[in-house]
Structure formats: structure tokens, C-alpha cells
Amino acid sequence: MFINRVALVGVVGRYYTYMLYFKILVGFTGINESSSDTECLRRVQEITGKKLKFHQVDILKKEELDTIFETFLTNHFYLIFILQYDIDCVMHFAALKAVGESVQLPLLYYKNNVSGSINLFEVMNKHNVKKLLYSSSATVYGTPQKLPLTENHPTGLGCTNPYGKSKYFVEEILKDLVTSDKSWSVISLRYFNPVGAHESGLIGEDPQGVPNNLMPYIAQVAVGRRPDLKVYGNDYDTPDGTGVRDYIHIQDLAVGHLDAAKKLLSPSFSGFKAYNLGTGSGLSVLQLVKAFEEASGRKIPYEIVGRREGDIAYCYSDASLAKRELGWEAKKGLKEMCE
């Protein structure tokens, strides 16, 4: 099945650009909203050699969002594009995601991630676009009660920060929405720890300021931008004492979206369904450091410091549901993640 009418909301910046890149490769077209980082889009165009059509709006400005849907659905200026640009489903990536910042600025996080999502769903409702792929997170599982994490693990319990809660709240809103209106269908993709970059080096994660997440921090140490990595604790109940996570290459993540979109658009799909996007196995901080050293040929100096508040020992997925039902599984290994 060829999908060519997907609206991407919130694709600029971070690894979401990768989705756009993939989407173009397979012939998708897209809109996006809200970002100052149009450099990512320029790079996507450079890699793919394709001209992109995108709109920059704030997801909190509902009227502007509405106008874009209106334009894609009715404007004659776009007549020749209507078949391509008409929207069958929306991939919703637009969210703030820094855990620490969310603790400092909860209202900002709830406004953007929850109110912004409601805006989008209302506009979708109005235009009768009722198929949604939601960018969720393993953070909705809170502190794992049982590992590996399956999709039926309880959610919401032990979500300790506003970012995590906002992802959980939106999932709950979506469940209520599909219950109230059977013509809505939603797939929520729960990402584990996305890492890696496009082989051109043009697309990847390059946060401004001090990175919060492990992989971009290691990358900055490797290029000498930071003197060493602070490893947050080596006294966890794990093989080497450091935290274990399920790292997934962004390219696998992107392919997971395409497979999920096919499922979402198949006539038999209805309701709300969540899928884990992970590899199904965990790696420790020190294992990742070692792999990065091998891939880059550079030493990554590190220092063991105290635990980071809110961290847990283990978090990894059972990714078998996505394999069974979406025909998807992660293919890229540790080496590619570190390249």
C-alpha cells in the first residue's frame, strides 16, 4: 500500500527530521509546524534533493493550524497537489521533551504538549481527518513493575515529571476520543531511547547548550566540546552498576512510523492501540561509552558521579507486539548507533 497523504506536525529539529527524510524517500508529502530550526529542513532538502513544502505555525495558534488544513483540503491553488497533499492521517510529533525543564516549567509543558495536542485534534475533527499516529514515550510506563515492558504494563503510575505526565495525559485523551467517536483511530508509538544520526552527518541530535541525554553528551565529549562524561551512578543493581536502557536507532524508529502508518490506514484498523518501538534489549552507560570509543576511535573520558534524581536502573522493551502486528523490528545495532 502506498501512502502519500500524511501530515507531519512538529517535525523540525531533533531526530524527527529523520521522519520527514524517510517520508520524502517513500513519496510522502508533509506539513509541519512551529520551529525556529529551519536549518534541519534545509538539510533534508539537501540530502534528498527534493523541494519541501512546509508551513511554520505555532500549534497553540489554532486558527493558523485550521487555515493550513483548510488550504490543503480546499484551496484551488493547490489543485494539482490535492491528491498528494490531501491529508489521510497525521503524525503528531510536536512536543517539548526536556525532562528537567518540564519540572521547572510545568505550565509551559502542559500548554504545549497537552493544550497543543487538543488544538490539533479539534482541527483534525473539524476537517474530518481522524487517523492519528501519536509520538509517545516509554516514559508513560513510569517506574517499571515488571521487565521487559510490554504494552499492557500499567501507565501513568510513577510518572514523576510533567513531560512524562503530558505524554500519559494525551494518550488518555486519545483513548477517550476513540471511545466517544468510532470514526477516530489512533496508534500511539512509545519510543524507548532514540539515538544515532543520518550517515551524511547532516541530521542528528545536536542540542543547544548542555545535552540532557546520554548519547548527545558522549558525542560532544568525543569532539572535545566537553571535557568528560559524568556517569550518573555505578551502584545500580545492573551488571556494571550503571543504568540500562533500550537504545534504538532513529532510522529504525522512522521505519516503525511507516509500518504503523500502513496499519493505521488499513480498513480493518480501528480504536486506540499502543506499540513499543525499542530493540527489546538493554545496554548500560558504560557499554555505550565503550561502543562509541570503538566506533569513533576516540577516548571518552568519564567520571562516576552520584545518581541523577528520577533515574531508574533498567528500562527496556518487549518489542514483540510491533513485530507481530506491524511486521516491524529494529535492525540497526550498537555500532551504527554510535557512528
What is the rounded distance in angstroms from the CA atom of residue 23 to the CA atom of residue 29? 7
Element (H, E) at 273: strand 271-277
The CB-of-11 to ligand UD1 minimum distance in angstroms stands at 16
The CB-of-220 to ligand UD1 minimum distance in angstroms stands at 10
The cell for 204 is 542528528
Largest CA distance in the chain: 63
Q: Which of 339, 338, 102, 333 is nearest to 212 (CA)?
A: 102
Nearer to ligand UD1, 10 or 184 (CB): 10
The CB-of-9 to ligand UD1 minimum distance in angstroms stands at 19
CA distances in angstroms from 249 to 170, 199, 254, 317, listed in the order given = 25, 12, 9, 14
What is the rounded distance in angstroms from the CA atom of residue 282 to the CA atom of residue 291? 14
The CB-of-255 to ligand UD1 minimum distance in angstroms stands at 18
The CB-of-235 to ligand UD1 minimum distance in angstroms stands at 12
Nearer to ligand UD1, 204 or 243 (CB): 243
Nearer to ligand UD1, 193 or 276 (CB): 193
Nearer to ligand UD1, 99 or 295 (CB): 99
The cell for 109 is 509543558
The CB-of-308 to ligand UD1 minimum distance in angstroms stands at 5
- Contact assessment for residue 207 and residue 310, using Cβ atoms and an 8 Å cutoff: no
Q: Which of 162, 60, 72 is nearest to 117 (CA)?
A: 60
Nearer to ligand UD1, 67 or 100 (CB): 100
- Contact assessment for residue 269 and residue 130, using Cβ atoms and an 8 Å cutoff: no
- Selecting among 163, 247, 275, 316, the annotated active-site residue is 163
The CB-of-194 to ligand UD1 minimum distance in angstroms stands at 6
Instruction: Please name the residue ranges forming H helices in the chain.
Output: 16-25, 38-48, 62-74, 82-85, 99-104, 106-109, 116-126, 162-180, 214-222, 250-265, 285-296, 320-326, 334-338
Q: Which of 70, 77, 72 is nearest to 87 (CA)?
A: 72
Question: 163 an active-site residue?
Answer: yes
Q: Which residue is nearest to ligand UD1 (CB)?
A: 243
Specify the length of the chain in residues. 339
| Interface positions with ligand UD1 (CB under 6 A) | 99, 137, 139, 164, 193, 212-214, 217, 229-232, 243, 245, 285, 308, 310-311, 315
Neighbours of 50 (CB within 10 A): 14
Terminal Cα distance for the chain, rounded: 32
What is the rounded distance in angstroms from the CA atom of residue 195 to the CA atom of residue 203? 11
Question: Which are the catalytic amino acids?
Answer: 163
